[in-house]
A = this chain, B = another copy of it.
Amino acid sequence: MLNSSQMNRRLSTKDFVYFEIKKRIIECILAPDQPINEEYLATELNISRTPIREALQRLEIEELILRLPNGRLKVAPISIQEVEEIFHVRSLLEGLIAREATTKATSNDIQKLGQFTKLIVTAANNDRGDEVVYYGSEFHSYLYQISKNKTANKILNQLNDHISRYRRLGPIKNNERSRNAAKEHLEMFEAISHKNPDKAEKLMREHINNSLKAAVHTIEVHLQQNIDENN
C-alpha cells in the first residue's frame, strides 16, 4: 500500500524496503547498535511486516544488521577489526579486478577511464574531497564492469556498502589523502592503458591499503570521541 511511485516501477515492496533501510544504515540515520523493530518499521513505511522481514533478513545476511541470540535485531556495531578484514579482502579482489580489466579493456574503455581519472585529479586539485570519493567509486565500478567478474563484483559491492557506512562516521575532509588518491588513480590508469596487468594489480592493492590507513584513523578518532562524550 505504498502511495504509488514504487509499486509501478517493477521494484517489489521488499526490494524498496531493502534499499530504504540500507540507505538509512549507511547514512547512520539508523545508528550502529541501534535496535530494530519490525512493527515500528512496518507502521512507518505503511506496509505489512512480511516485506519488512524479508528486507531485514537480506541485510542480516549482508551483515549490516545482526541478530542477537534472542532473535532481536540491531544495526551492526562499529568494529575496527572488521574494517581491517574488509580492506584486506577488498585489496585482493580489487587487485584481481584491475588485472582482469587491464587484459579485457577496449580502447573505448580506456578512454572512459581516462575521463574518470581527469575528474578525480581535478577534484583533488580543488580540494573537493567528496568528488574525489564519488568519481573514485565510478572509476572502480567501471573496472568491475570491464572485468565481467560477477563473483568478485558482487562481493566487492557488499564490502563497499560497509565501507560507505564507515566513511559516514568521520569527516570526509582529508585533502592530503585526496591528492594521494588522485595520484594513485592516475598511476593505475597509466598501467591499465599500457596494458600492464601485473602493475595494475600491484598499484590497486597498494591504493586500497593506503585508503585502509585513512579509514582506520577516521574510525579511531570517532571511537575516541564517543568515549570522551560519555565521560
List residues of A whose CB falls within 8 A of some B CB: 50, 53-54, 57-58, 61-63, 82, 85-86, 88-89, 92-93, 95-96, 149-152, 154-155, 159
Contact = CB atoms under 8 A, between A and B. Distances in A.
B92 A151 contact: no
8 contacts: A54-B57, A58-B61, A61-B61, A82-B150, A82-B151, A85-B150, A89-B152, A92-B96
Contacts of A154: 63
A96 B90 CA distance: 11
Majority SS of interface residues in chain A?
Answer: helix
Contacts of A85: 149-152
B53 A151 contact: no
Nearest to A53: B54
Contact of A88 (B50, B53, B88, B96): B96
A171 to B, nearest CB: 26
Contacts of A62: 61
Nearest to A69: B10
Given A57-B57, A151-B159, 12 more contacts: A50-B50, A57-B58, A58-B61, A82-B151, A85-B149, A85-B151, A88-B149, A88-B151, A89-B93, A89-B152, A92-B95, A92-B96
A123 B86 CA distance: 36
Contacts of A54: 53-54, 57
A154 B62 CA distance: 10
A10 to B, nearest CB: 9
A159 B93 CA distance: 14
A93 to B, nearest CB: 7
Contacts of A82: 150-151
Nearest to A86: B151
Contacts of A50: 50
